Amino acid sequence: DTEVTQTPKHLVMGMTNKKSLKCEQHMGHRAMYWYKQKAKKPPELMFVYSYEKLSINESVPSRFSPECPNSSLLNLHLHALQPEDSALYLCASSQWLAGSSSYNEQFFGPGTRLTVL
């Protein structure tokens, strides 16, 4: 099983709503990532978890709150978002933290298309 799943596939929310994005992998990977991607741009790293501990927070606004309940799950809690936060949110996982070794491919989920009204 080389699959990373994400729910929901699409999400429309108002600026006062609270919602959560979910990500799951069953490959035994110990590193998980959240990216934000705008059209025609590369994925932009938001958070990295390694062994369920937050390893990187790329100066992401506090209206985005990550959570790693266990080694297979990664959540991204959203609150009071702005219209400019509308994007494709991608979850990814890799066996180890990037750079730990070669042949450490990062697998991406299909993404959640988020629209903030």
- Stretches 14-22, 44-52, 60-68, 71-79: which one binds other proteins (CB under 8 A)? 44-52
Q: Is 45 among the residues that bind other proteins (CB under 8 A)?
A: yes
H/E/C letters for each residue in the chain? CCCEEEECCEEEECCCCEEEEEEEECCCCCEEEEEEECCCCCCEEEEEEECCEEEEECCCCCCEEEEEEECCEEEEEEECCCHHHCEEEEEEEECCCCCCCCCCCEEECCCEEEEEC
Q: Is 108 among the residues that bind other proteins (CB under 8 A)?
A: yes
- Stretches 13-21, 60-68, 76-84, 91-99: which one binds other proteins (CB under 8 A)? 91-99
Q: Is 59 among the residues that bind other proteins (CB under 8 A)?
A: no
Q: How many CB atoms lie within 10 A of CB 64?
A: 19
Contacting other proteins within 16-35 (CB under 8 A) = 33
Report in angstroms how near the CB of residue 5 gets to other proteins at its nearest. Answer: 10
Binding site for other proteins (CB under 8 A): 4, 6, 33, 40-43, 45, 48, 50, 55-56, 88, 90, 92, 97-99, 102-111, 113
